Chain A
């Protein structure tokens, strides 16, 4: 367990701005526009956003790979990019490339030493970590024989090697099979339980939904949402989708606004109906009335209450609908 001296955030981003210059006199591209949030120890925080939203830019600023043009960012209490902060961070980059002359073991030794570890300390931890990420017994193999998924596993191992307080993972499940994803989820949950902060950048919303405590959604460099999963997908308001079997008259008695759009030849043919609903109690009452009319409820599904729905609603469609801003 990480013994954190305080519950102070491991990442603080305050009004962060980044403008990329284009050419020598070019006006440039604004990649981040006043982004603010924080990440606390012992939580899994996901940064979501469509391609080009500025997610990787934000991570690069935090790690000092690129410089901010405005605002502030800090990592474990140190300014973003400070070596003392980077010392306590484990990072798995997107599209990780480990030089082909390395084996899994030499790669761990190399990256471990870059993090300030001795070779001996790396050796002590290497076997356990390789086993944890599912690479046990593959340590002497050259990485050029590794699949993309195996490279990701090795990348995760090197990120965890020096017991970092904060782990930043950029698309960690990229290239992994379902079993691998499940293993990674398990590792992330374990890290959270140990009190470490996990900052996740992923496209796979279902993965995020399954493990994350809080999310931030970026769109074109602007923060659209930051909060818990419950705040993003509330169980109040929305629409409910029902699949019913019954006579047209019976259905119309319960749902007067519903109109059959086509001639139904068979009363056993299912009918799909979407209705606004305030809460579950209102839905329960409706189902009771349907049952009284001997209408069978084949299936029922709440619309707009998954992460994907919320995400799509926030970032809008490809036409550029900005969606709903949440502060």
Chain B
């Protein structure tokens, strides 16, 4: 095709010696067309971000460099362009937006000044015209009160507003190509939907080619015209969005798509009548407002009430800052609350002393979000898992033996016992974290975003493991997540939290089929790629 803005031919990027493979990517061929969004999708470590950096000449040279191939843009080969030539292209002809807008913006300069800087460097417009253009740009990305935004500092904006400012900056010079590296990953789902819409609108309006890098198939379904799938540096499949998402050919693509949880409710279950294992009544928690100068107090939990019956899984969903993690930590008494009762099997742990709490600790265990931060880097896996039982008086020998059996239960090889946490992948670490929680034979498992940091295929495995363990050990589970697909898959009932309050609690099938609260409706509406899987199932059934 002739309207290709950028053509990547046979690109290979070399990694330094001692990396897990010699080439980060090899033999990548990709064409980006004007007015089209091309999604580059892959799991962590697939090399997708390096491709983007290679286009901009931002590889961390000399360790990582383009080993072979050409990157053709407006008749020039970017792989061999001089730094001075690249500087003229970057920002003006090719722009980039990043995952975390807070780190990509300079915290000491106002938004207006930073956008103005782009214009000052690349154009010779007089000051007044530049100012007018900045205001116009801020309006075009739907930022409220552009005049005020102009004088705001990055920390005064919300995450979504910062990303809008980044987009305004990227589009300031009407680039022909926009590279977006996971631009919505750090955002809440409702904000993500808005930003995706914005990118789509602006790109249509200006005829910009977009290279959109993501790991999320839902986002791909929402925004992509064409899709390229990267597996460990190999481009295994590419084609139009409908083709790749609807009829994937390569086994890896098929496996990835199959691993995405369906946005569909399970069949309605009769309500459980088992006794309550957890009841939280009117729990209140306030942060801040301490120290010499006071400051504003934020209510993280405002008269929150939840109930969980034995054997049940209750999902806590909500956006960041809704208080769902705070509630998880309150329930495990990793944090004290200001007011209210938290009953575990009828006993209030909110006001227990340390010694009273000790036996209760065994009954409630937690699985954490961050697979890298939640394991002590200086302990062997066997000691990490055996620690709980040893604390509670089990003979260390017996506890270690049991730890090795637990490793088998969570699907790890017994040889893992003598190794350290850093030798494992994210998914394996999460399995170790689950084994640690299970070592005390808890009745209630509190899982705080246990799969959020994992790739989609690994995520599916860990969710399957949790489901298996839950039925086998007859656990009750409080499952905190921001991902509605995951929540629908694992939970019996779902509690929706917003700004420290539970706004709706209902059985999973009911909340999906008939959400009551406006916020719940908004959440479901914002899930990226909400219906492509339905279409997919319908198509396969029809054919």
A binds B: no
Residues of A within 8 A of B (CB): none
